[in-house]
Structure 1
Amino acid sequence: MAQRFHAERAAEHGQRFEQLLDEHSQVLYLLDDAAALRGLARRVREETGAHIGLAGPVEAEQVLVLRQWNGTWATGLHDLHVPMGLGLGGLAAAERRPVWVADYCASELITHDFDVPISADGIKTMLAVPMVRAGRVQGVVYAAMREVSYFGGRQLDAAVNLADTGGLALQTASAARRQREQAAAAERRRIAAELHDSVGARLFHIGAELRDLRTHARESSELLDRLASLEDQLAETASAFRDSVHALDHDEPTGDLAAALTRDCAAFQRRTGTSAQAVQIGQVPDCGGHRTRVLLAAAREALLNVEKHAGARSVLISAIALDGGIAISVADDGKGWSEPAGNGIGLRTTADRLAELGGTLSVVANEDGGLTVRIWIPLP
């Protein structure tokens, strides 16, 4: 009797645990668009019996991007960009209704811009359902078969229900992301104000004291030289401090990673007179707002070290999709950094932030002089 009681209790606890996991997944979907899309790609395959499930959001310039997939053979559909009206998903998004074709490559209903990646995965029958929320297309979910088939009412209903769930998840995740960004911006402004009121005032006071000492130290040339050196160091510190406060008190620039790196290079060149250029090698996928900010912060920290220590004539920043992630290199042709610069608190903090997301940072010497900071972060 006791054994049966314990078995029943264990079964109840197991059932409750499964419910908690399901609730956790639902909350995660509402806060993380990548998790929501990944779940949609898996579930549309499971609930419709399809061979392949795909899901993607509508991103900048109203382009649908296939960000998550389940059951694919090839990689041609991975991160595929689909403009409105093109292909099956573009048509479904433009007309805001489910669309399906029995034989994709032979269909006269759609354009055939994507026949190559479709054929590479052996796709024949395909269904696309738009995720519409608050009058806006948030994305599209797909179900695909590798044989000429038919999507019945039950399968269509399942796909439509999943699309409704996905639309809510993407809308909620977008709102949560905006709230996090606003909170982060407010915190940056708060820290900037505190630094300005405390450290800034202290720097000004130290500078005033040094200038006063200099006026009373005319009889000692050695002391005058030391005071002049201290004033120069203080001026450099104050300049770096102002730049830090300015960066804290301004929101991140809009636009993609390559555009932001180009703007950073232009600002660096205007500030230092050192030639700086950013290049993108191949297609670099979007890695999400948080990861993009961490990458930009790392590249800016590398640029700051070049500015302070390298004495470089030129800097080249490159971005490339590499090893399942995004890699950025900041290479200079300077004299190299001193040991404290390469292991300073700025780079250590940057490396820690990258590590939190599974990324890495390394500093290597170039064969022809200068250093290269290598930054890598995995895609979500």
Structure 2
Amino acid sequence: MTSPIAAETEADLVANAVRELARRTRFPVAFGGLVEEGVVSVTSIVGARTRSLDGLRVRPERGLGGRAMMELRPRMTSDYGSSRQITHDYDVFVLGEGLRTLLALPIVVQGRSRGVLYAGAWDHAQVGGVTTAPAMQVAQSVADELRIRDEVQRRLRAATETPPTVAAPQREELRESFAELRSIAAAVEDVGVRARLAQVERRLLTLAGETVPPTTAPVPVVHLSPRETDVLACAALGATNAEIAAQLGLREGTVKAYLGTAMSKLDASTRHAAVTKARRAGLLP
């Protein structure tokens, strides 16, 4: 179940996408929403002259948007009122606003429609690649963000449900999950999502820390920067500098520099020694 905070974040994401859709295309009207209990509830509307689109709820296979969601591809009509390619369940909404040209773009996440964005005009509009390409990019950006949120939720649940005693294979899974989370976090700009990622990372570190054998040797206090931790987490899985650079979107020389500073802080002569000391210090699982 999606938490209220996550749901609010998704609603904001749709609202931003609808505004961006109107800005980047020649369509004066844009609206859209996400699937809730099998139905898309339109939650954001930009540019409408009337309130006819308020309360629009679209079911799969019904109307232009429903068809787009079922076919997992954009659908468009330049004469909505007379189109025979769609059902007209929602004429009271669309024609009530006076829309004639309508473009529907499904938000597809891992092969499943999670919502739909619409762009419309009150008259016949010539629509080509110049218009549809940026519109599809907007829909894809929403899908990418939803995919990240889904992954965060999944890993949060997995971390919460992981038993206190972690066997060796599960330790490796934890380490891989941690490294992947660091990679995802490096590409996320949303402050709220980064905070949720940080919570999951702390859970993974706590769980992995319970499997670290006790030692009588004092562990020095070390503070690694987020980027140093990102790079070291990937190195812990055996990735080369080139592979780390590709995964984190950095230059190979920059990766080498981060590894160097991390090794220096940890007083390690090799990356493998740095990983070992970072794990002992509780900086990596």
What TM-score, normalized to structure 1? Answer: 0.38
Whole-Å separation in 2 of the counterparts to 1:34 and 1:100: 24
Report how far residue 55 of structure 1 moved: 1.7
Matched with 2:68 is 92
Alpha-carbon deviations, 1:112-141, whole Å to 9, x = none?
A: 111111122111100001111211112111
Residue 40 of structure 1 is matched in structure 2 by: 17
Counterpart Cα distance in 1 of 2:81 and 2:54: 19
Match of 1:114 among 82, 90, 95: 90
| TM-fit CA distance, 1:174 | 4.2
Match of 1:67 among 43, 56, 64: 43
SS at match of 1:147: coil
Partners of 1:30 and 1:67 in 2: how far apart? 12
The alpha-carbon distance between structure 1 residues 179 and 80, as it changes in their structure 2 partners (threshold 3 A), is farther
| Number of positions where the alignment pairs a residue of Structure 1 with one of Structure 2 | 158
Aligned residue number for residue 79 of structure 2: 103
Give the distance between the partners of 1:75 and 1:179, measured in 2 at CA. Answer: 41
* Alignment counterpart, residue 32 of structure 2, candidates 50, 55, 76: 55
Residue 149 of structure 1 pairs with residue 129 of structure 2: no
- The answer to whether the Cα contact below 8 Å between 1:125 and 1:149 also exists between their aligned partners in 2 is yes
| Residue 153 (structure 2) pairs with residue 168 (structure 1) | no
Mapped to 2, the partners of 1:182 and 1:39 lie a distance apart of: 30
Highest relative contact order (Cα 8 Å, sep 6+), 1 or 2? 2
For 1:67, what is the secondary structure of its paired residue? strand
Answer yes or no: is the 8 Å Cα contact 2:108–2:115 preserved in 1: yes
Amino acid at match of 1:88: L
- CA distance in 2 between partners of 1:65 and 1:181 (Å): 27
Alignment of 1:279-294 (within 5 A): none
Q: CA deviation at 1:173?
A: 3.3
Is the CA contact 2:56–2:93 (under 8 Å) kept in the aligned structure 1?
Answer: no
Q: In structure 2, the residue corresponding to 1:160 is in which secondary structure?
A: helix
**Counterpart residue identity of residue 91, structure 2:** D
Paired residues of 2:49 and 2:97 also in contact (CA < 8 A): yes
Q: Do 1:138 and 1:171's aligned partners in 2 also have CA atoms closer than 8 Å?
A: no
1:172, distance to aligned residue in structure 2 (A):
2.7
Distance change (3 Å), C-alpha of 1:68 and 1:181: farther
Alignment identity in percent? 30
Q: Distance in 2 between the 1:70 and 1:180 partners?
A: 35
Question: Could you give the per-residue CA deviations for residues 64-111 of structure 1, whole angstroms, max 9, x where no partner exists?
Answer: 221211112233323421111111100100111110000111111111
1:148 is displaced (CA, Å) by 1.1
Q: 2:54 aligns with which of 66, 72, 78?
A: 78
Counterpart-to-counterpart distance in 1, 2:121 and 2:31: 12
Q: Does structure 1 residue 159 correspond to structure 2 residue 135?
A: yes
Alignment of 1:93-242 (within 5 A): 93-176=69-152
The 2-side partners of 1:108 and 1:139 are apart by 23
Tell me: CA distance 1:32–1:176, structure 2 relative to 1, closer, same or farther (3 Å).
Answer: farther
Task: Specify the code of the residue in structure 2 equivalent to 1:49.
Answer: R
Any unmatched runs of 5+ in structure 2? 163-285
Matches of 1:166 and 1:94, distance apart in 2: 18
Query: Whole-Å Cα distance in 1 between the matches of residues 111 and 26 of structure 2?
Result: 29
Q: Distance in 2 between matches of 1:37 and 1:177?
A: 19
1:1-24 deviation per Cα after TM superposition (whole angstroms, max 9, x unaligned): xxxxxxxxxxxxxxxxxxxxxxxx
Cα-to-partner distance string for 1:333-363 (whole Å, 9 max, x where unaligned) = xxxxxxxxxxxxxxxxxxxxxxxxxxxxxxx
Runs of 4 or more, structure 1, over 4 Å off, are 28-31, 174-186
Kept in 1, the 8 Å contact 2:99–2:122? The answer is yes
Instruction: Kindly indicate which of the two structures has a greater share of residues assigned to strand.
Output: 1
Query: In structure 2, do the counterparts of structure 1 residues 102 and 31 end up closer, same or farther at CA, with 3 Å as the change threshold?
Result: same
Shift of 1:176: 4.4
Q: 1:171 Cα shift?
A: 2.8
In structure 2, C-alpha distance between the alignment counterparts of 1:45 and 1:64, rounded to whole Å:
20
Give distance in 1, aligned partners of 2:132 and 2:81: 21
- Unmatched segments (≥5 aa) in structure 1: 1-27, 187-380
Q: Describe the superposition over 1:174-207 as per-residue Cα deviations: whole angstroms up to 9, x where unpaired.
A: 4445677899999xxxxxxxxxxxxxxxxxxxxx
TM-score for the superposition, normalised by structure 2: 0.50
Question: Hey, what's the Cα distance between the residues in 2 that align with 1:121 and 1:184?
Answer: 48
